[in-house]
Structure 1
Amino acid sequence: MYKYYMLIIVLHTLCKTALGVQLPKDIKKCHFGDTKCLIVSINDLIKRYPKGIPEIGLPPLDSTRLEDVAILDRPNVGAVWLTFYTRDNVNRGFNNATITHVDGFSRDPTKNIMTIEAHIPSLIHEATYDMLGRYLLFVANTTGKLKSDFQNVQLKLTIKSVLEYRNHKRYLKIYELKPKVELDRWIVWFDNLYRENTDLTIAVNRAFNENWLEFWNGLEPGLMKSFAQCFTGMLNKVFENVAYDDMFLPDVGENE
């Protein structure tokens, strides 16, 4: 009996692999290139599935775990240098995103650049940071928790992709994703900047938040790297599981 059940499981897995994973039936499919329909469909998916859809590889949108990333990595030479890494990264707030523009999801998406634009009221980033650096005679070597709030985020993703063929189906794979981010405010708090001087930790955090725009401009390349890793990972997991053609309605006459 045990072998019988195992055989059923194996056959089910093989069948699922061959046929590909399907989108949930309550998610509306659109025709290729129908941008208005895609905007409505994606926004509906975000509202219906804030906890993600494990079956298709979509992670939780209300608490998305990210890979470790180097925000700043300056060589440790000279009088001024700094390295800043984050790990145990979690982003909260993608479940409140509203898609405002979609383009390029045509029958052959490799012939054009795909774009996705969204508005996120508040994107919270929590992580453990490791900072090592020197400013003249001052040396920093600290680890702690950080929490930052990116407020009123306007996000644009520019995507380039290739098509891969598996089991006679087309699967999309992103090979380049460039994010562009505009925001109204960035609020951040670093714990344990100066373990033996709480007042100095508070003062430095206050100075950072009062001059957040200057810090944003300096750290933007590393932050954009983090955004790129995040969205490339999220989208590729879905594209790896669900065939590109299965995401859309068939063209007129295709079934015939």
Structure 2
Amino acid sequence: MRAQEDFFLNVVVIKDADDIKPCVAGDDKCIIENINTVLAKKYEGDESFGLPKLEPFKMDDIIISQDSTSPLAIHLTLRNPLGYGAKDLTTRKVKGFGKNPDGRHEIIIAAPALTLLSDYKIDGKVLILPIQGEGKANITLVQPVIRIRIDATSRNENGNTFMDIKEFRIECKVKRMIMQFDNLFNGDKALGDNINSFLNENWQEIYAELKVPFYDAIAKAMNAAAKQVFKTIPYNEIFQI
């Protein structure tokens, strides 16, 4: 899944790239076009301006521990998670990115689906049912719409203006979440199929419990990627200010 965008932000202009045109600061239409070009054509990464590989998008392990008072009284570890779907993202709206990088900037992006594949280990109880297993996990967000909020300050260095990201947050609305955990209950197919069906029937309650840890993990990876871009290229070279 992402965050990554940006996974999704990492963005806006590429030096000497024929398919990316410099944007005037605050030109929303131009900025949207450039973000979409990066997502569609540069998803394998571009070291020349610090863009990491977006497809798949690597994230740190995700560890979720909920106590017995939670509907998801589980300990879940997602190891080596990889996000897929960045190349199908499209930008719907941007706000900010004016002449002065100080303040808040926003990007809204959407995709047909974003998928997270990982190794997993889980133990505990989901709603009323016990769950235990270790194997491969597939968690897919259907028709996600992601709002990225960036709070930034400016920094002057060697005659250039740089954007320093101070806070990076994401929120996501989805049409549905689909989950598949292989090898539940040591490979007991009947039990595993029943639990996977139960998870997907009750996806809204489960998503409500999982979304904040997911947001934090995705935002952390996206923030690192965005910081690398804005560290590599001065803000005044990304935008005409």
Q: Is the TM value for this pair above 0.5?
A: yes
Structure 1 counterpart of 2:66: 74
CA contact (8 A) 2:131 2:195 kept: no
CA distance in 1, matches of 2:86, 2:226: 13
Identity %: 25
Structure 2 counterpart of 1:214: 205
Q: Select the residue among 97, 103, 112 that pairs with 1:105.
A: 97
Structure 2 counterpart of 1:233: 224
Structure 2 counterpart of 1:187: 178
* RMSD value, Cα: 2.5
Is 1:58–2:20 an aligned residue pair?
no
1:79-135 Cα offsets, whole Å, 9 max, x none, are x9422121211111111111111111011121x310000111111111112223368
CA contact (8 A) 1:188 1:209 kept: yes
Is 1:201–2:224 an aligned residue pair?
no
CA contact (8 A) 2:59 2:218 kept: no
Q: Select the residue among 109, 112, 121 that pairs with 1:118.
A: 109
Structure 1 counterpart of 2:4: none
CA distance in 2, matches of 1:196, 1:93: 29
Is 1:87–2:62 an aligned residue pair?
no
Unaligned runs of 5+ in 1: 1-20, 252-256
Give the secondary structure class of the aligned counterpart of 1:113: strand
Structure-to-structure mapping, 1:140-155, within 5 angstroms: 142-155=133-146
CA contact (8 A) 1:22 1:246 kept: no
Give the secondary structure class of the aligned counterpart of 1:173: strand
Structure 2 counterpart of 1:9: none
1:223-247 Cα offsets, whole Å, 9 max, x none, are 2212212321221121121111110
Closer, same or farther in 2 for the Cα pair 1:76/1:55, shift >3 Å?
farther
Structure 2 counterpart of 1:157: 148
Closer, same or farther in 2 for the Cα pair 1:196/1:68, shift >3 Å?
closer
Structure 1 counterpart of 2:168: 177
**Alpha-carbon deviation of 1:46?**
2.0
What is the number of equivalent residue pairs in this alignment? 225
Structure 2 counterpart of 1:11: none
Unaligned runs of 5+ in 2: 1-12
**Alpha-carbon deviation of 1:76?**
8.1
One-letter amino acid matched to 1:120: A
TM-score when normalising by structure 2: 0.84
CA contact (8 A) 1:156 1:181 kept: yes
Query: Between Structure 1 and Structure 2, whose CA radius of gyration is higher?
Result: 1
CA distance in 2, matches of 1:164, 1:248: 15
